[in-house]
Amino acid sequence: MLGRREVVAAAVAALMAGLAVVVLAGLGDAEVVEVRVQGGLPAAPVEAGQVVWAEKGDIWIYDTESDKRRALTTDGAARYDFKPHFRNQSRVTYLTSGEAFGPDPALVEIDLISGQRRTLQHLPGFIRAYDWNPDGIRLAYYNVLSYDAKTELHITGAGPSHLRRFAAIKGRGGFINYDETRIEWASDGRRLLLSDTALDTSQDETLYILDVDGSDAAAPRVGSWARWSADGRAVYCHCATTPAQNDWRWQAIDVAGGLSRPLLIPAAARPSLSPDGRLLAFDDGADTPSIFVIDLAGTGAQPRFLARAAIAPLWLDPSRLAVTDTRPCPDSEDDCLAGGHGSMFEPAGTASALDLRTGRRTPLPPIPTDGADTP
């Protein structure tokens, strides 16, 4: 019997599909979860058996103990709330603006125990991504002040603040199977990973491994879909073999030494590292996408096929995954691909669990909505 952890994973997997609108099973016919993507994966953070997400301008949370979801904000279009993150197990932060993804949003914190909220600060410009360091004291956010300005990385909080400017935006939309905008602290809080391929800029580098002051811990290179190793010593990415090259390949980069080890992955998107750090799961982004997993510890390991018609794997535990089920795009090829930015698949509105030991695929139950604040 599927437990509450699987239900939470179903919510997260559906929200992490990487498309603009994801329909979740269990919601009313007229109700969809809007996950607007600025070139990459939307945020659906998980902490202590809870998941938070943005839906129709409000922030929602699903709690395993109550087995219900509820709205943390209810102002709807009056104040558009987006990009929620767990700061720690009991505090959630989100951005709020007078318009959808508007400039100069306020960063607001909610205490999940007391229900109290407070505005931490106003962040300048358009916020493309942000993340708290593991102890929730330092904030890194990535922004652009206007569409003809340079992108910037700000590191604030306890200790000195740092600013790094990158390149001016030339402009284009994101490609679902190739592009991602992401900032992530390493598990030890000593380094940052920043990738942004969703915008054309005046520089070629798209992947940065940074020290806590924003300086380069390794030479920048082209790359996307980057993830930290569990110990923060390596980065797994689809990226150039050396900073001077433009030969995109899947590999593991040792941050300290700069050496890289090839990963035998021909095509991958939306990667997810297992809780023990040993396996990397991903979908291949094909017209009918498939889920694979690869053993990161073994040299020369080949990807193992798990399932078809699924994307965005998310780990339940070291031997089980939750995935978002897909179906063919119902429109014409031109409309589905939309100039190359889209795909020939779409989320089916359901999620499944994959057991790596047995190969069994089991439908996950819909998200409970009893007691929700909206129909």
Q: What is the pLDDT of residue 11?
A: 43
What is the rounded CA–CA span in Å between residue 334 and residue 344? Answer: 10
Look at the pTM and tell me if it is higher than 0.75: yes
Q: What is the pLDDT of residues 30-85, one digit of tens each?
A: 232 323 222 233 345 555 567 788 888 899 887 656 667 789 999 877 889 999 99
Q: What is the pLDDT of residue 6?
A: 43
Q: Which residues contact 248 (CB under 8 A, 6 or more apart)?
A: 222, 223, 238, 239, 240
Q: What is the pLDDT of residue 174?
A: 62
Rounded to 5 degrees, what are φ and ψ at 20?
-70, -40
Q: Which residues contact 51 (CB under 8 A, 6 or more apart)?
A: 8, 11, 12, 15, 44, 45, 61, 62
Task: Residue 366: count other Cβ atoms within 10 Å of its Cβ.
Answer: 17
CATH topology of domain 4-363: Methylamine Dehydrogenase; Chain H (2.130.10)
Using DSSP's 3-state secondary structure scheme, residue 146 falls into coil
Q: What is the pLDDT of residue 192?
A: 97
* 315 within 8 A of 275, measured Cβ to Cβ: yes
The answer to whether the Cα torsion of 296, 297, 299, 304 is positive or negative is: negative
Q: Tell me the pairing of strands 162-168 and 150-157.
A: antiparallel
Annotated domain spans of the chain: 4-363
Q: What is the pLDDT of residues 302-348, one digit of tens each?
A: 999 999 999 999 887 889 888 889 999 999 998 888 866 788 998 88
Report the b/e string of 265-285 with b at 16+ CB within 10 A: bebbbbbbbbeebebbbbbbb
Q: Which residues pair with 46 in a beta bridge?
A: 51
Nearest to 151 by CA among 168, 132, 126: 168
Tokens of residue 6, six digits: 């699987």
Amino acid residing at 317:
D
* 236 within 8 A of 263, measured Cβ to Cβ: yes
Q: What is the pLDDT of residue 201?
A: 52
Q: What is the pLDDT of residue 39?
A: 29
Q: What is the pLDDT of residue 170?
A: 64
Intervals of the chain under pLDDT 70: 1-49, 63-67, 169-174, 198-204, 339-340, 365-375
Q: Give me the DSSP letters along 115-149.
A: --EEEEEEPPSEEEEEEE-TTS-EEEEEEESSTTS
Q: Tell me the pairing of strands 223-228 and 207-211.
A: unpaired
Counting Cβ atoms within 10 Å, is residue 167 exposed (0-12), middle (13-18) or buried (19+)?
A: middle
What is the rounded CA–CA span in Å between residue 129 and residue 133? Answer: 13
What is the rounded CA–CA span in Å between residue 43 and residue 52? Answer: 8
Q: What is the pLDDT of residue 324?
A: 87
Q: Which residues pair with 150 in a beta bridge?
A: 168
Q: In what helix (H) or strand (E) does residue 335 lie, and over which residues does it extend?
A: helix 333-337
Question: Chain-wide mean pLDDT for the chain?
Answer: 81
What is the rounded CA–CA span in Å between residue 30 and residue 130? Answer: 31
Nearest to 47 by CA among 97, 110, 101: 110
The answer to whether the Cα torsion of 340, 344, 348, 351 is positive or negative is: negative
What is the rounded CA–CA span in Å between residue 316 and residue 309? Answer: 19
What is the rounded CA–CA span in Å between residue 26 and residue 266? Answer: 35
Q: What strands lie across the sheet with 304-308, from one edge to the other?
A: 269-273, 279-283, 290-295, 304-308
Q: What is the pLDDT of residue 339?
A: 64
